């Protein structure tokens, strides 16, 4: 039909409908322009929630996905996969009753969206009445409304000419165009639509996703033509790479390839994760794992030990789907070794790491005004001259009461002592308000004092005070770790806690005594003794004790082997090494790696090692598995 012929018929239809409004059917083409502007969009509850998709950023993550599915349904590996272009637009759900388009809605939060029926009717790709066969009585068709790049550019050109602000990207403008209150505006935009999913799946008498796509096409929907059916995941990986090559020339924004299990029966079996994502589909995205962006500045963070860590302030950039604007630079040497200058374009990665990091500069892109960077000579938080111990790459702020260090110290303390509700922001506020200056002050806080701060009500203030009180019962090892003594992490703290049992015994111990503890080297011992020898730390501990803290290490289980030390050697008849160790520890004993005079007994199995000879030389008891089991009360 020629355009002129179409226009004539269209006008005739309009005239007829004006005369006989009762004859105007919901699928009349006149609806494509008709509706009056609305004052606001109505909410629409989806009968079946609109799901989103999990992402995979490389081949390995796609393979992991198949393995996860295979644990639930082993035959997934033989069920075939459909590959579809992932259209980057706005998701919509279209309801058809008796083949007629009745309601169209945005995704919203997946459960409740907005009714945009009038706007969707203006999009010529969306059939107002379905044609063809096997159309269910009631069905929801899901798909993506998108803005072709050419139409988007055209819109921006027009807006620019009219001195109106231009739009940033086709995806957001597609969503914005759909939510217009006046359908005429939507119509002028030139939006398009692709269908890719039906709900409820049981409503269609079909067996595969491939058939669903074909059915959608036969009912009158545009379906993205680059779809592909493959038999195995290996083939899928290959085909994904091929489709990836095509994405830039599609004429619309596409941000990946969606892989779906082809056999629909498995969709039901595999189900949905957290009411959000189907387990049977995944979006293979091509967001870069390494991105290039501008390094705007290098700033320095002060850690709790005073260590100064340079970090990069970046022009925001997307890396593996996450926007990054800060990244660590590790230490000053790294900045120098990699030749990073402020103003450079740098490569940024997040691969495998939570914390983004700067890999290095892109030298060819170095702007003329890029300038070298040096660690500042004074601490950026307190102005103290910075120091660098001779054998270290790190620079330090030596000032123990530097606000940067104090903040980090207190946050670490609260975290390790498990004081719920005392996170970074609250510690910052408490410091700012002068309510705390050191970790000891935490134990002085009252609900009344807390309530003077923003963000605290009766309940939250009391909860925090309760959490602080509970933390007084933490074992010595936890307290030692929380203090943030250099080189004392969780494991070392445990060794110290077990050895000394109470804080007083440890603070009173001379260097020789601490160095004797198994597993503690001279550097750690030195750091521990040094810490407790410092006057300000002694004052701190005295104040903490004044608030009723007297941390002790509970006797390990207090069981039948309490206070005893065992050494294991050889293979045992029934117990594995790990089992034997667990058995001893759960009975209150300890397992050491070397034999000494303090060893209670050596447990010897078949083919024992030199430990047995050592035990003989030192006159240490030698027992077998049976005797061990008897001692822990597990055998006669």
Active-site residue set: 86
- Tell me: cis bond preceding 302? Omega within 30 of 0 counts: no
Q: Which residue is nearest to ligand IVH (CB)?
A: 91
Q: For the CB of residue 11, give the shortest distance to ligand IVH in the complex, in Å.
A: 37
Whole-number Å distance between alpha carbons of 296 and 37: 46
Beta bridge partners of 322: 319
Q: Using CB under 6 A as the criterion, what x/- string covers residues 84-113 for binding ligand IVH? A: x-xx---x----------------------
52 versus 596: smaller Cβ distance to ligand IVH: 52
Whole-number Å distance between alpha carbons of 480 and 503: 9
Q: For the CB of residue 168, give the shortest distance to ligand IVH in the complex, in Å.
A: 19
> And the tokens for 383?
């102005």
Q: Which of 281, 411, 430, 584 binds ligand IVH (CB under 6 A)?
A: 281
Whole-number Å distance between alpha carbons of 257 and 227: 9
Q: For the CB of residue 133, give the shortest distance to ligand IVH in the complex, in Å.
A: 24
**Interacting span for ligand IVH (CB under 6 A) from 82-90, 232-240, 438-446, 453-461:** 82-90
Give 36-93 as a DSSP string.
PPPSSPPEEE-SSPPP--EEE-SHHHHHHHHHHHHHH-GGGGGS-EEEEEEE-SEEEE
280 versus 531: smaller Cβ distance to ligand IVH: 280
Dihedral sign computed on CA atoms, order 237, 242, 248, 250: negative
The answer to whether 144 contacts ligand IVH (rule: CB under 6 A) is: yes
Whole-number Å distance between alpha carbons of 304 and 200: 56
> And the tokens for 455?
């963000």
CA 190 to chain centre: 37
107 versus 350: smaller Cβ distance to ligand IVH: 107
DSSP, res 225: T
**Interacting span for ligand IVH (CB under 6 A) from 5-13, 51-59, 209-217, 543-551:** 51-59
56 close to 168: Cβ distance less than 8 angstroms: no
Q: For the CB of residue 146, give the shortest distance to ligand IVH in the complex, in Å.
A: 9
73 versus 258: smaller Cβ distance to ligand IVH: 258
Q: For the CB of residue 209, give the shortest distance to ligand IVH in the complex, in Å.
A: 9
91 versus 525: smaller Cβ distance to ligand IVH: 91
282 close to 274: Cβ distance less than 8 angstroms: no
Q: Using CB under 6 A as the criterion, what x/- string covers residues 554-593 for binding ligand IVH? A: ----------------------------------------
Q: For the CB of residue 267, give the shortest distance to ligand IVH in the complex, in Å.
A: 9
The answer to whether 344 contacts ligand IVH (rule: CB under 6 A) is: no
280 versus 396: smaller Cβ distance to ligand IVH: 280
The answer to whether 53 contacts ligand IVH (rule: CB under 6 A) is: yes
Q: Where are the beta strands (DSSP E) in 521-561?
A: none
Q: For the CB of residue 258, give the shortest distance to ligand IVH in the complex, in Å.
A: 4
Which is nearest to 320 in space by CA: 293, 353, 345? 353
Whole-number Å distance between alpha carbons of 152 and 73: 44
Helix axis angle for 490-500 and 476-483, nearest 10°, is 130
What ranges in 443-489 are assigned the alpha helix state H? 447-451, 458-471, 476-483
Q: Using CB under 6 A as the criterion, what x/- string covers residues 164-203 for binding ligand IVH? A: --------------------------------xx------
10 versus 286: smaller Cβ distance to ligand IVH: 286
How many of the chain's residues bind ligand IVH (CB under 6 A)?
A: 14
> What values do phi and psi take at 204, rounded to 5?
-100, 135
Q: Using CB under 6 A as the criterion, what x/- string covers residues 441-480 for binding ligand IVH? A: ----------------------------------------
Torsion on CA atoms 554, 555, 559, 564, rounded to nearest 10: 150
The answer to whether 283 contacts ligand IVH (rule: CB under 6 A) is: yes
Whole-number Å distance between alpha carbons of 312 and 96: 53
Q: For the CB of residue 289, give the shortest distance to ligand IVH in the complex, in Å.
A: 19
Tokens 């459909």 belong to residue: 82
Kindly give, in sequence order, each residue whose CB lies less than 8 Å from that of residue 414, ignoring residues fewer than 6 positions away: 422, 423, 427, 442
Q: For the CB of residue 363, give the shortest distance to ligand IVH in the complex, in Å.
A: 37
> And the tokens for 561?
């082997």
39 versus 109: smaller Cβ distance to ligand IVH: 109
The answer to whether 499 contacts ligand IVH (rule: CB under 6 A) is: no
52 versus 469: smaller Cβ distance to ligand IVH: 52
The answer to whether 139 contacts ligand IVH (rule: CB under 6 A) is: no
**Interacting span for ligand IVH (CB under 6 A) from 209-217, 233-241, 275-283, 548-556:** 275-283
280 versus 566: smaller Cβ distance to ligand IVH: 280
Beta bridge partners of 83: 228, 259
- Specify the 3-state DSSP secondary structure of 634: coil
Kindly give, in sequence order, each residue whose CB lies less than 8 Å from that of residue 562, ignoring residues fewer than 6 positions away: 555, 556, 587, 588, 589
The answer to whether 279 contacts ligand IVH (rule: CB under 6 A) is: no
Whole-number Å distance between alpha carbons of 29 and 10: 8
The answer to whether 52 contacts ligand IVH (rule: CB under 6 A) is: yes
269 versus 347: smaller Cβ distance to ligand IVH: 269
For ligand IVH, the binding residues in 238-257 under the rule CB under 6 A are: none
The answer to whether 258 contacts ligand IVH (rule: CB under 6 A) is: yes
Torsion on CA atoms 579, 582, 584, 586, rounded to nearest 10: -140
Q: For the CB of residue 71, give the shortest distance to ligand IVH in the complex, in Å.
A: 21
Give 344-388 as a DSSP string.
-EEEEE-TT-SS-EEEEE-GGG--TT-B-----SB-TTT-PBPB-
Q: For the CB of residue 544, give the shortest distance to ligand IVH in the complex, in Å.
A: 51
Give the binding site for ligand IVH (CB under 6 A): 51-53, 84, 86-87, 91, 144, 196-197, 258, 278, 281, 283
């Amino acid at each position: 039909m020629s355009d002129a012929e179409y226009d004539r018929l269209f006008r005739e239809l309009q005239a007829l409908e004006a005369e006989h409004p009762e004859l105007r059917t919901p699928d009349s083409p006149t609806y494509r322009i008709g509706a009056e502007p609305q004052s606001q969009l109505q909410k629409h509850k989806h009968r079946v929630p609109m799901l989103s998709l999990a992402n995979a950023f490389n081949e390995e993550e796609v393979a992991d996905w198949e393995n996860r599915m295979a644990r639930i349904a082993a035959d997934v590996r033989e069920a075939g996969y459909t590959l579809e272009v992932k259209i980057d637009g706005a998701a919509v759900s279209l309801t058809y009753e008796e083949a007629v388009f009745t309601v169209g809605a945005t995704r919203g939060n997946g459960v409740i969206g907005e009714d945009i029926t009038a706007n969707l009717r203006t999009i010529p790709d969306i059939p107002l009445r379905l044609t063809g066969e096997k159309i269910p009585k009631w069905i929801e068709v899901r798909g993506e409304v998108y803005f072709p790049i050419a139409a988007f550019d055209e819109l921006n050109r027009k807006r620019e000419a009219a001195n109106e602000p231009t739009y940033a990207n086709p995806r957001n403008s597609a969503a914005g165009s759909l939510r217009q209150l006046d359908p005429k505006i939507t119509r002028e935009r030139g939006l398009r639509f692709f269908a890719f999913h039906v709900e409820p799946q049981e409503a269609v008498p079909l067996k595969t996703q491939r058939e669903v796509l074909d059915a959608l096409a036969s009912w009158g929907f545009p379906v993205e033509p680059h779809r592909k059916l493959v038999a195995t995941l290996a083939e899928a990986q290959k085909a994904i790479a091929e489709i990836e090559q095509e994405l830039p020339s599609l004429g619309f924004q596409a941000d990946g390839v969606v892989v779906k299990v082809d056999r629909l029966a498995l969709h039901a079996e595999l189900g949905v994760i957290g009411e959000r994502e189907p387990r049977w589909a995944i979006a293979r995205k091509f967001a870069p794992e390494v991105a290039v962006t501008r390094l705007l500045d290098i700033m320095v963070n002060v850690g709790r030990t005073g260590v100064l860590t340079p970090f990069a302030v970046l022009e925001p950039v997307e890396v593996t789907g996450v926007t990054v604007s800060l990244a660590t630079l590790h230490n000053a040497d790294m900045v120098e070794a990699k030749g990073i200058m402020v103003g450079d374009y740098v490569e940024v990665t997040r691969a495998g790491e939570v914390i983004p990091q700067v890999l290095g500069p892109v030298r060819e892109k170095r702007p003329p005004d890029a300038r070298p960077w040096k660690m500042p000579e004074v601490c950026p938080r307190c102005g103290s001259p910075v120091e660098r111990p001779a054998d270290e790459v790190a620079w330090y702020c030596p000032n123990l009461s530097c606000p940067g260090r104090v903040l980090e110290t207190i946050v670490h303390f609260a975290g390790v002592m498990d004081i719920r509700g005392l996170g970074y922001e609250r510690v910052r506020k408490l410091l700012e308000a002068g309510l705390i200056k050191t970790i000891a002050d935490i134990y002085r806080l009252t609900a009344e004092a807390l309530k003077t701060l923003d963000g605290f009500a009766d309940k939250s203030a009391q909860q925090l005070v309760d959490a602080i009180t509970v933390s007084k019962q933490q074992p010595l090892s936890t307290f030692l770790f929380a203090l943030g003594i250099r080189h004392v992490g969780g494991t070392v703290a445990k060794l110290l806690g077990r050895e000394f049992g109470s804080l007083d015994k440890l603070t009173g111990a001379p260097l020789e005594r601490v160095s004797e503890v198994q597993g503690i080297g001279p550097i750690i011992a030195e750091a521990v003794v040094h810490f407790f020898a410092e006057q300000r730390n002694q004052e701190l501990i005295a104040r903490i004790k004044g608030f009723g803290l007297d941390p002790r290490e509970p006797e390990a289980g207090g069981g039948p082997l309490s206070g005893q030390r065992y050494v294991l050697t050889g293979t045992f008849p029934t117990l594995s090494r790990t089992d034997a160790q667990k058995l001893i520890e759960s009975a209150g004993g300890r397992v050491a790696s070397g034999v000494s005079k303090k060893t209670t007994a050596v447990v010897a199995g078949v083919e024992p090692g030199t430990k047995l000879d050592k035990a003989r030389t030192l006159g240490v008891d030698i027992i077998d598995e049976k005797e061990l089991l008897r001692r822990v009360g597990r055998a006669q």
